[in-house]
């Protein structure tokens, strides 16, 4: 993503807005530190934070899930039985 400083943004605001309207987002920085991101209103929102339970009903956890590989795990901690 392109970064422009405040002075450049003020000088070329119309040009930057035109570029944003064509889908090119950019960041305005002050003294090299990013301050704001400019993008067109029609741009899709960034990926939303994932929520718990989004796969509910789409996967199945086996009944013995908490015992799967138990012998291997015990042998890794205690050595061969």
Is 57 domain-assigned? no
Any idea what the CATH number is for the domain that residue 15 is in?
3.40.1620.10
Instruction: Count the domains in the chain.
Output: 1
Model-level pTM greater than 0.75?
Answer: no
Residue 27 inside a domain? The answer is yes
User: Domain span at residue 14?
Assistant: 1-41
Provide φ and ψ at 10, rounded to 5°.
-65, -40
Structure tokens at 68: 């799967």
Give the pLDDT confidence of 10-64 residue by residue, as tens digits: 999 999 999 988 889 999 999 999 999 998 887 566 666 677 888 888 888 889 8
**pLDDT score of 10:** 95
Residue 68: inside a domain, yes or no? no
Q: Note the pLDDT of residue 51.
A: 75
pLDDT tens figures, 39-53: 888 756 666 667 788
Instruction: Please check whether residue 35 lies inside any domain of the structure.
Output: yes
Measuring CA to CA, which residue among 10, 11, 8, 46 is closest to residue 25? 46
């Amino acid at each position: 993503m392109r970064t422009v400083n405040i002075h450049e943004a003020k000088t070329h605001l119309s040009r930057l807005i035109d570029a944003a309207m064509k889908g090119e987002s950019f960041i305005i920085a002050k003294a090299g530190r990013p301050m704001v991101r400019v993008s067109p209103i029609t741009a899709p929102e960034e990926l939303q934070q994932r929520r718990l339970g989004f796969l509910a009903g789409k996967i199945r956890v086996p009944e013995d899930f908490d015992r799967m590989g138990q012998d291997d795990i015990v042998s890794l901690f205690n050595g061969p039985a």
